[in-house]
Chains A and B, each alone.
Chain A
Amino acid sequence: MTTDVASTSNGAPAQAPGVFTPEGAIGKLVRVQAFQILLVLVVIFLIFSALAPTIFPQWSNLRLIIQNMSILAILGIGMTFVIVTSGIDLSIGSVLVFSGVVSAMAMRAVGGDGLPTAGLGILVAVGCGLAWGILNGVLVAKAKVPPLIVTLGTLGGALGLSQVLTGGVDIRDVPSILSDNIGYGNVPGTTLPLISLIAFVFLVAFGIILHRTRFGLYTFAVGSNEEAVRRVGVKVDRHLILVYSISGGLAGVAGILSLSQYGTTAIAGQSQTNLNVIAAVVIGGTSLFGGVGTIFGTVVGLFIPAVLQNGFVIVGVQPFWQQVAVGFVLIIAVYIDQRRRLAAARGTGVKRRFSLGNLVTRRK
């Protein structure tokens, strides 16, 4: 920083160094948690590459990692939006299952293996996800029920209804056009999984929305100081409903992708999904207290558990250690966030809604 002398009332202050100067930008980058965590990821990557140079860093293995991450990445987008508003969405795993179930039932009802059936399945899945998301959003924004409780409720509701609809028995017939192309297919002419390309397109699109548009700005603003945003006339309730709808809608997308990839509705298979996604988002530097976060960080936050899991298997460590390692990374990430918030909080006196953040802060 340049030396600063309080400018006189008539003299314009000298050109201020801001984010757009190189030092400002780099200084900021180093401070951003997503970048620190990227370094951690690189180190983990290098260690595994050194331990298993013939297997780990090969494209065939990396391809497996990104293929397995793709569905979680779609869910992570919605979760990032929600957590940036200082909310939480515990229901995504159940909404994924519900969307898959209803979609599978609809496709089974119309029959056929072709594009029209698949198209219907996609629409139904996304529609179901949106419906749950809107319900979450309305309850959070209008009924003022804390997001933790709302989405805990819809977590149970969506899973329970899935079991009611199927009698608890997974549906296993999925149109082959979905399983062949989206599930295990590659982008034509490459060895890149199509499902990963789909996830990438969603990541870029929603990354642009979050970081470059008015909608994204309001998402940060609502998480930063909801009252201030209301006072300037932004429709905060509507915005929250839209954010939870995005999360629900993307869970619907994840539902059809999961159906395509695994060929089953996997009703019991998503009980940890919400927590895994939340952990990744938080590891990636998105603050549970709202107002801070990046889609890029979430991607990095997803890579860490995925790479650890894959690497441990390859080097012959029991994969259970992955959970231990991820647990520690998560706690360290939140610890860093806490430190940063306390340093930045210089008495802004911002009142906040009840959120998971309040549950995990230790305050007297």
Chain B
Amino acid sequence: MSTGDVPVLQALGISRSFGHVRALDNVDFEVYPGEVVALIGDNGAGKSTLVKALSGSLALDSGKILYAGGEVTLSTPAQASALGIETVYQDLALAPHLNPVQNMFLGREVPKPGLQGKLGFLDNKAMRDRSRLAFDDLGATVRGLGDPVGSMSGGQRQAIAIARAVNWAKGVVFLDEPTAALGVVQTKNVLETIRRVRDKGVGVVFISHSMPHVMEVSDRIQVLRLGRSVAAYKASNTSMEELVGAMTGAIGGDK
């Protein structure tokens, strides 16, 4: 692991409420290049909200976001993408009627060379080849690159969403419960992919309810409870008991 000095992405004291619910309450969070940070917490702890806030899908009430040390405003997902932040949302955000290749390249289509490309024609072969590589890379069993994603299994859809994020992420990739719908083999592939992406120097933020997976793949673990950041551990010197205690509030654990 090659942890740099400056976090690639850093949140300072960010808050966000929905009506009376303080989904995020003065949360600090950072991820360094080439590390895997797990974000854990009970249902409703604010994990997805934090991911949305850091990927430009959700406006903040207060707080700062720094990218590679410089302050940024992320008001649209496209801005986050342009910086190199990619996200696999919990609801996957694929277009069910489009095929895996079209989903992979949605918003970033490869135009045909020359005039044809200027007229809006697309280089489907190039996109198909690159998608095929990305799926193979993930060891994903995505068959039928021409079939609509909506007709595929939950695991295949998840693999497509992950492949898309990993393929485009240059700085940080957020994976919100990426293994929730996956079988044993695919889960192993995803964890393997997470390591591979980390080794390329990308920061990975991994959300999961599965403590064994969290322990297996992450370098650091940050615990959220009721919108607060309650604890942070190095994966090498913590235990599942400690993590569960911090999540449920049995351990007061201030960091």
A residues within 8 Å of B by Cβ? Answer: 1, 4, 6-10, 12-13, 16-20, 24, 28, 209, 212-215, 217, 220-221, 223-225, 227-234, 290-292, 344-350
Contact = CB atoms under 8 A, between A and B. Distances in A.
Contact of A229 (B106, B108, B151, B192): B106
A33 B185 CA distance: 37
A209 B95 CA distance: 20
B156 to A, nearest CB: 10
Chain A interface mostly: loop
Contacts of A214: 109, 111, 120-122
A232 B108 contact: yes
A346 B95 CA distance: 13
A220 B97 contact: yes
Interface in B101-131: 102, 106-109, 111, 119-122
Name the residue among B94, B97, B146, B149 with the largest chain A CB count within 10 angstroms. Answer: B97
Contacts of B157: 348
A288 to B, nearest CB: 13
A348 B146 contact: no
Interface residues of B, number: 49
A246 to B, nearest CB: 14
Nearest 7 A/B pairs, CB to CB: A19-B146, A233-B78, A232-B107, A291-B97, A213-B120, A224-B95, A224-B97
A13 B111 contact: no
Contacts of A290: 97
Interface string B157-191: 10000000000000000000000000101101100
Nearest to A350: B96
A225 B141 contact: no
Given A7-B141, A224-B150, A234-B106, 12 more contacts: A4-B141, A9-B192, A16-B145, A19-B145, A221-B102, A221-B106, A227-B93, A232-B77, A232-B107, A232-B108, A233-B81, A346-B153
B119 A213 contact: yes
Contacts of B153: 346
B68 to A, nearest CB: 20
B147 interface: yes
A16 B144 contact: yes
A348 B96 contact: yes
Interface of B: 57, 76-78, 81-82, 89, 91-99, 102, 106-109, 111, 119-122, 136, 139, 141-154, 157, 183, 185-186, 188-189, 192
Contacts, number: 130
Contacts of B94: 225, 228, 348
Contacts of A213: 119-122
B143 A16 contact: yes
Contact of A291 (B96, B146, B192): B96
B94 to A, nearest CB: 6
A118 B131 CA distance: 51
B146 A24 contact: yes
Contact of A221 (B98, B119, B142, B144): B98
A253 to B, nearest CB: 21
B89 A231 contact: yes
B78 A232 contact: yes
Given A16-B143, A234-B106, A228 B136 contact: no
A209 B102 CA distance: 16
A232 B167 CA distance: 14
A17 B144 CA distance: 6
Contacts of B111: 214
29 contacts: A6-B183, A7-B139, A9-B185, A9-B188, A16-B145, A19-B146, A19-B147, A20-B146, A209-B120, A212-B122, A214-B122, A221-B102, A224-B95, A225-B93, A225-B94, A228-B95, A229-B107, A231-B89, A231-B93, A232-B108, A233-B76, A233-B78, A233-B82, A291-B97, A344-B96, A344-B150, A346-B150, A346-B153, A349-B91
